[in-house]
Every structure is written in structure tokens, then in C-alpha cells.
A and B are shown apart, each in its own frame.
Chain A
Amino acid sequence: MSVTSLPTAAVAASRPKGRRRRRRDLVGLLYVLPAMALVLVFFIVPIGMTAWMSLHNWPLLGLPRFIGLRNYERLWSDAGFWASLRFTLVYTGVATVAIFAVAFPLALLVEKPRPLASLLRTAFFLPVVVGFATAALLWVWLLNTDSGLFSPALQALGITPQRINILGTFDTAFAAIVAMVVWKVAGFTMILLMTGLQGIPADIVEAARIDHAGPLQRFRFITLPLMRRTLGLALILCITGSMLAFDQFYIMVAGGPGNQTLTAVYWIFNQSFVSFRLGYGAALSIVLLAILLVLSLGQLWLLRDREDAR
């Protein structure tokens, strides 16, 4: 009797508790519903439509025609796309290294409260609040051969015999664009890294100092490992942003000189809105999305918390 009554009692007792939990789950669901709706409308549906379009010959004008995977087959032998992707990867590598090389020292500089620290912080962060297109236009003027800043300055300082067109050759144009991007973006990465630095408990650093760890050793064995998550976030944002670069190349050099600075997104834009092949552009976008996904997963895996893994 007592043996059979026990489970019944347990079930009876758990029933209102389960109902309460279910109600709590429902309320939670209700709270995240607006966010889910946003994700659905502005992310899931557009991606679904892009994927659907990529299966069509979809001209900007006229009627779409279903062609299955033919866009993806064509993409395989599209030398222009792969060349643009190669350039995008090179640019991403160079830009990421350059941004971190500038942002990390800046973060170390402004991390601790010291005289002028907040002034410097503001100064380094200012370019971030300028739009990318605006910044690019500003630099177009700075880089103008005749009425800009750099070319006349180089000539006046005697570094170049006459005014050179900085955007006229690939090497100088590429360097100028990377410089612009570093100027524009490093402040943001600096702020991210700074919060990471400030999150390191002072007593750990203190303990290391007592153990006679030099500044370099402290940086290598204390600072870097404790900043892994911050570094991961900064790196993913930086790499994703660079892989999707378009504005600066469109505005500053229009993909030139000699189409050598066409990025992947620029190629997709040209296919979609210059050649009016929306379906093909959609297929390229899906491939780029997949590549970005792989890159981000790779970074997350590299920067995972080893302790968690064990």
C-alpha cells in the first residue's frame, strides 16, 4: 500500500510544479518572441530568399527561371570571383594584423588611469563614429594628387621628386586603403581590448610581479591568456568586417587600379547590380556566407577555453 502510494504521491506533488515550470517556459518564450521575430524577418527570411534566388536565373528585369544548381556550377569556373576572394583574404590578413598592431599598444596606453588617458581614448575612438563611406570620401580628398594632403606634402618634404598619384599603382593604393581602415577601425578594437585588459584582476598581476616575472613574461603568461575571450571577439569582428569590405574599395579606387582591388562583395555587387544577374549574385553570397561561417567556427575553435575542453 505504502509502496504503491509513494510514487503516486510523488507524481501528484510534481504535477503542479511541472505546470508552473511549463508556464515559466512559456513566459520566457513570450519575452524572446520579439527578438525571434526580428531574427526571422531580417535574417532567416532574407537568407531563405537568397538561397531560393540562387537556384534561379533571376535577372533584375524580367522573369526568373528555375535552373537548379547551374549558378553554383558556373561559379566554380568563375575566375573573377576566386581572384576577388583571394584578394579579400590577403586584405583581411593584412588589415587584421595592422589593426591589432596599432590597437593593442593603444589599448595598453589608455588602459590605466593616467593624465590625458581619457582625452587620448576619445581621440583614438573619434574616427570610429564616422561612417565608412564618409571616411572613405575624406581620404579620397586627402589622397588627391593635386588638391590633397599627402602627395603635395611628400613633394614639399623632398621625399618624391614630383607629385605622385598614390591611388595610381596597386602597392601604394592598397597601403593607403589599409592606412585609412586602421585609422577608422583601430579605435574600436582598442576599446574592446581595453575592457579585456581592465578585466584582469590586479592581484594576479601583483602576484606575478612578486614572483619576479618581467613585463614581457607578465604579458605573455598573464595578460594574453586571460584576454582570450576578448581577443576572440575582437578578432572575429575584425575578420568578418574585412571579409565583407566593400565601401572603401568602391569609393576610393572603384576596384582599381586595373581591377586589382575588387573584393568578394564588390564582385557580388557587380554581378547583381551592374550585370543584373541577381540569381548568380545570390549564389555567390551563399558561398561567401559559408566561407565566413567556416572562418568564424575555426576561430572559435582556436580560441576555445582549454579548461572547458578538458
Chain B
Amino acid sequence: MHSLKSLLVAATALAGLVLPTLALPASAETLTIWSRSGQGDTLEAVAKAYDDTHADKVSIVTLPVDEFVQKYATAIAAGTAPDAVSLDLIHTPAFAQAGQLEDLTDWAKSLPYFEALSPAHLSVGTYHGRIYGLPLTTETSVLAWNKDLFARAGLDPEKGPKTWAEWKADAAKVTALGGDSRGFYFSGACGGCFIFTFTPLIWASGGDILADEGAKATLDTPQLRGAVDFYRSLVAGGMVPASARTDTGPDFLSIVGGRIGLQSIGASQIGVLINKYPNVHFGVTLIPGPDGGTSSFVGGNNIVVTKGAKSVKAVEAFMAYVYSLEGQRLMVSHGSLPARSDIAAEAMKGQDPRYDVAVAAIKVGRTPYSPVFNDIINSPNGPWAQMVNAAIFGSDPAAAIKDGQARMQDIIDAAR
């Protein structure tokens, strides 16, 4: 028994050698925060500014977005999870339900600006009346268009589409330019991308995909069928590159290539486009409904504290800096929208005017609620990703939607 234990210790030590970043516990003065990839450099920038002005240090560890939930969950199970995590806000209910997060209610309510914190983040950060997650970074989905391509196609380069009909007409004209130009792009095999860019079409039509706090799947609705038909017509019109069908996410930001007329993007990517692709001249507008009306997915990350964390005070100190005007300004200049509405205008001062569209999206936007979000929405083999892909690219959309509805409800019921 003793030798077995020492062998296990040796094995753990060996694993520690192989995975130093994952297994090293956070030391007293350095707060380690896990973050998912594809989120720009917002957190790194804030952490650096914090390090420069504070005695405590914050170290940001970035993990691949596709494996983030698994990695955090396995780290919790192994007892090697970091004290704080920048968690995709959508997964807060799952971890709160599993009892793996510290209750932050008292601290949150003691913040003088508590009422001004992003309601979308708090809605998914709250489980059974207690608060487990607070807004860290914020982003919304908006529709971007390439101004140069619009001009070449004879469209007004300063005017984005306001209805689905305009959207389709614009995409058709850009496609008609010929060559490699295509009117529209979306990652067609990526559940996470679809929830971010495609559900706003359903919401703007007055529908929704989940009801009763995530207890009921509502996929088989006229609103979802309408949005699917709209995307189908774009694909059928040859306005979408053939590669879209199998893109599981790596090519999400295809508009940077300069050959895509329109594409839904995230607010954080506005900064990426401005800073890294100055040759792509683009405008952004709210994602429209069929005949006007708009919506957006309010996403981003919640700060959560792992159950049993040692340095809760360090997290609180860091978050106080994040929520300060200085911190909020810094976040905004690195692609995140402000988390506090009371100082949002001040924090946004001097920013690119295209961010105003992304901020306006917060008001019309929504965030779905489900404790099994990873299972039903994000998994490439889950019902949402499968259903949307089959409905848009397959031969029988009605059957695909019915099938997706049944499968999603099965998973929700099985988890209860």
C-alpha cells in the first residue's frame, strides 16, 4: 500500500514535469487566471498594467477554447485548478450547479456599482439566487461588411443591410464581382459560432431556442425555420464559399482575407481587424431580423473563483482594478466592451465609433441559459451544431430540425 502510494506520488510528479503550467499551484503573491484562446489580448493587457502598479502579480494562462471546459473540469477533479478563471459566461451555470464555484454574493453586493454591472453576465452568473460569476470581459455579435467590396459592387459603402432582403441583395452583388469574391461567410460546422452569430436572427424574428431556464428546447419553430431558409438561400445562390460547410471554427474570421462581403463578427474582433488588418475597410451594423428589428448575442467571460481557492482576496483586489475607470478604459482599448454601464460612456471616450454599434447591441442582445450548454450547443457532435449544419446544407431541413429538437430535449432531460 505504501509503495503504491509513493508510486502514485512519483507518477503525479512526472505529470507535473510534463505539464508544469497546469500542475503548478498559484504561489501566494501571483494570482493565476485561466483564460480561453481567441479572446484577444484584453486580459493580458490589464494584467500587465496591474503588475506595474500593484505589489501582487497576475498571470494569465491561455488554454485552447475547444478544450477549455474539459480542462477546467478535469483540473478541478484533480485538485489542480487555478484560484480564478475567466470562464465563458455561458458555462457559469454548469459549474455553479456542480458546486465547484465560490459564492461571491456578499462581495458582489458590497460593490457600490453592483447595480451597474452587465445584467447578461449576472443572469448566467446567478444560480439559485446566489452569485457565482461577475462580468470580466464583454462582447456582442454584430454584422460586418467590407466597404471596398461594397463600393466595387456598386453598393453604398457606408450602408449595411437593415433587413434580410437587403442582406441577401448585398451578398448577391458582391458575389457577382466574380473571382474568389463571395457575399457572405459563416463557420458552418461550429456550434459555438452559430450560437453567437445565428441565434440573433431567431431572436430578432421573435423566437428563441430554449425556454423555462433551459429546461425546454424550442428549435422546431417558424422563427428558426425562417432563419434557416434565409441562410439556405444564400448557400443556394453560391454566395457562401464551399469551405464554410466544414469549418469547425478555425476560419471564423474569414472577412480578413478581403474577399468576403458580409460576415457576423464579435466586438473583440473589431479591434483585431483595426489593428492587424488595416487594409480591410469595414463597417459594422446590428444583426437584423427579417423585416427590421435587431438582436445580438451578449457574450464574454465571467470571473469565477474555484471552490476552496486560497487567494480570494487577490481576486477581489484584481477585480476592483478591472472595474475602476482606468481598468475599464484599458479593457475597452483592447477590445472588450465596458462591464459597468455607469461609466461606460466615459470609458468609451475616444474609441473607434464602430464600437458604439457593439455597445448598442448590449441593449438588444440576449444570452441563453443552460446548465448543459457545452453538451447541447458547443460540442461539434451535439444537437445544435449538427442540426444547424444539416438544416442549412442538407437536403431535408425540416427533418433535421425535428431531429435536433428531439435530441436536444433528450440531453436536457437526461441531465436532470
Contacts and interface: CB of A to CB of B under 8 A. Distances in A.
B100 A167 contact: no
Given A163-B242, A165-B245, A253-B246, A274 B379 contact: yes
B245 A168 contact: yes
A85 to B, nearest CB: 16
B248 A254 contact: yes
Contact of B246 (A163, A257, A262): A257
Interface stretch (B72-80, B126-134, B198-206, B312-320): B72-80
Interface in A244-271: 253-259, 262, 266, 270
B243 interface: yes
By CB atoms of chain B within 10 A, which of A45, A144, A274 has the most?
Answer: A274
Nearest to A173: B246
A271 to B, nearest CB: 10
B242 A164 contact: yes
A174 to B, nearest CB: 13
Given A256-B389, A274-B382, A61 B245 contact: no
Contacts of B393: 168
A146 interface: yes
B7 interface: yes
B212 to A, nearest CB: 21
A22 to B, nearest CB: 24
B375 interface: yes
Contacts of B70: 273-274
A134 B205 CA distance: 43
B115 to A, nearest CB: 32
B99 interface: yes
Nearest to B394: A258
A61 B76 CA distance: 7
Nearest to A278: B77
Contact of B375 (A37, A168, A257, A274): A274
Interface string A114-153: 0000000000000000000000000000001110000100
A168 B389 CA distance: 11
B386 A61 contact: no
A273 B70 CA distance: 6
Contacts of B73: 60-61, 273, 276
B98 A62 contact: yes
A165 B98 contact: no
A275 B394 CA distance: 26
Contacts of A287: none
A151 to B, nearest CB: 8
A59 interface: yes
Main secondary structure of the interface of A (DSSP, over half): loop
Interface in A150-168: 151, 162-165, 167-168
Contacts of B189: 254, 256-257
Interface string A34-77: 00010001000100000000000001111000000000000000
Nearest to A276: B73
A262 B389 CA distance: 16
A166 to B, nearest CB: 9
B162 to A, nearest CB: 30
B192 to A, nearest CB: 12
A165 B242 contact: yes
B246 A256 contact: yes
Contacts of A163: 242
B214 interface: no
A273 B243 contact: no
Contacts of B11: 41
A37 B70 CA distance: 31
Given A259-B381, A273-B74, A62 B99 contact: yes
What 3 A-B pairs come out closest when comparing CB atoms? Answer: A61-B98, A145-B243, A254-B380
23 contacts: A37-B7, A41-B7, A41-B11, A45-B4, A60-B73, A61-B98, A61-B99, A146-B243, A162-B242, A165-B242, A165-B246, A254-B381, A256-B248, A258-B390, A259-B386, A262-B381, A270-B379, A273-B73, A273-B74, A274-B70, A274-B379, A274-B382, A275-B375
Interface of B: 4, 7, 11, 70, 73-74, 76-77, 95, 98-100, 180, 189, 241-243, 245-246, 248, 374-375, 379-382, 386, 389-390, 393-394, 411
